[in-house]
Amino acid sequence: MIDVRSDTVTRPTPEMRKAGYHVEVGDDVYGEDMSVIKLEETAARMLGKEAALFVTSGTQGNQIAALTHCDRGDEVLLEADAHLFLYEGAAMSALAGVQPRTIQGVRGVMNPEHVRAAVRPDNIHFPETGMICIENSHNKAGGAIVPLENMQAIHDIAREHGIPVHLDGARLFNASVASGVSVKDYAAQTDTVQFCLSKGLGAPVGSIISGSAEFIRKARKWRKRLGGGLRQVGVIAEPGYVALTTMVDRLAEDHEHAALMAEAFEQIPGLSLEGSIDTNIVIVNVAGLSMSSDHFVEELTKAGVLAGTFGPDTVRFVTHYDVNRNDIKQVIDRVNELARVRS
Ligand SMILES: Cc1ncc(COP(=O)(O)O)c(CN[C@H](C(=O)O)[C@H](C)O)c1O
């Protein structure tokens, strides 16, 4: 099976597995696991932030940011198709007791004036705006890159009001490699950042959140409260360090593969692309084949390709380290055959 459902399916490289086996470990609750400390310090340095914290998933990182930035009863501004809104089980309400307020963007990009208008003035009837969240690259928008200028404009508005900006940068390194903008420059337009080690970078587990030393001090306490106090974590942190230090530049290959797939899909009658391809995600509309996305995915699975439904008529293909050029050719051929049978 060729698995292009998501870049969450990436498996650790032999180097990552060996690193996890040989690493010296310690109890991270006592601050004695030098491997995770090295990973956190490296990540903070790359982002130009004071400190960083290893967390078990992107969702945990995003939720710890909400718990740390916000008070119960606050409101969080975020794009209408943000992962924090669509795919985290309403955790920000369930755990942090905050209310999400969505702003419809265009391909994940919020209009800064819409953000400004949504910031709550001081009024006994209103919640306070506790956090503004940006997602870059934007998953639901097809891995779309949010321009640095847009982030800067939103960050300026946030600073005017003393509101923290959190970046859901699960695929921040994809955005950086594709745009040429450094992760440090993106991070400079935020107060806190979450990025995934476990997606395109190929680590088996984990994410990083990063921000001020004070934020990370509080975030570490929230992680502990959530049962995330880690012990001999070097076993998974060292593979994360290998991922962070050796797997960034190769993301360009995933982007090339996504562009190849998109170019081929565009030529197939009955298929249409949902937007341009910025990074490693291709979203295809299959309505022209008179079949639902569920049916399309089901038929494609029988042909040996795992893709993901992304809406009633849309299917997502995500390229990643475990899918090579030949696999991409196979995916294109299988989709071609399926479409030909249907048309
Ligand atoms: C932008 C963004 N932020 C956060 C997360 C959460 O990361 P994890 O909790 O899965 O580590 C994801 C995962 N996205 C997953 C995927 O794309 O297959 C699913 C949808 O949860 C994400 O895409």
- What is the per-residue pLDDT across 242-282, written as a single tens digit (0 to 9) for each? 999 999 999 999 999 999 999 999 999 999 999 899 999 99
Domain limits at 189? 12-246
Show the tokens assigned to 284: 């295809």
How far apart CA 66 and CA 132 sit, in angstroms, is 10
Say yes or no: CB of residue 247 within 6 Å of ligand 1: no
Is the CB of residue 85 less than 8 Å from the CB of residue 140?
no
Would you say 69 and 162 are in contact if contact means Cβ atoms under 8 Å apart?
no
**57 & 146 share domain:** yes
pLDDT at res. 6: 98
Q: Is 59 in the pocket of ligand 1 (CB under 6 A)?
A: yes
Q: What is the pTM of this model?
A: 0.98
Asked whether 139 lines ligand 1 (CB < 6 A), one says yes
Q: Are strands 99-103 and 314-318 parallel, antiparallel or unpaired?
A: unpaired
In-domain check, residue 5: no
Q: How high does pLDDT run on average in the chain?
A: 97
Q: How high is the pLDDT of residue 343?
A: 72
Given a cut of 90, is residue 140 above it in pLDDT? yes
CA of 199 relative to ligand 1 center, distance in Å: 8
Q: What is the tens place of the pLDDT at every residue in 157-215?
A: 999 999 999 999 999 999 999 999 999 999 999 999 999 999 999 999 999 999 999 99
Counting Cα atoms < 13 Å in the Cβ hemisphere of 73 gives 5
171 and 93, same domain (yes or no) = yes
pLDDT digits 0-9 by tens, 232-248: 999 999 999 999 999 99
Q: Are residues 118 and 182 in the same domain?
A: yes
Number of domains in the chain: 2
Q: Is residue 3 part of a domain?
A: no
Per-residue pLDDT tens for 279-335? 999 999 999 999 999 999 999 999 999 999 999 999 999 999 999 999 999 999 999
User: Looking at 209, 231, 246, which one is the last position of a domain?
Assistant: 246
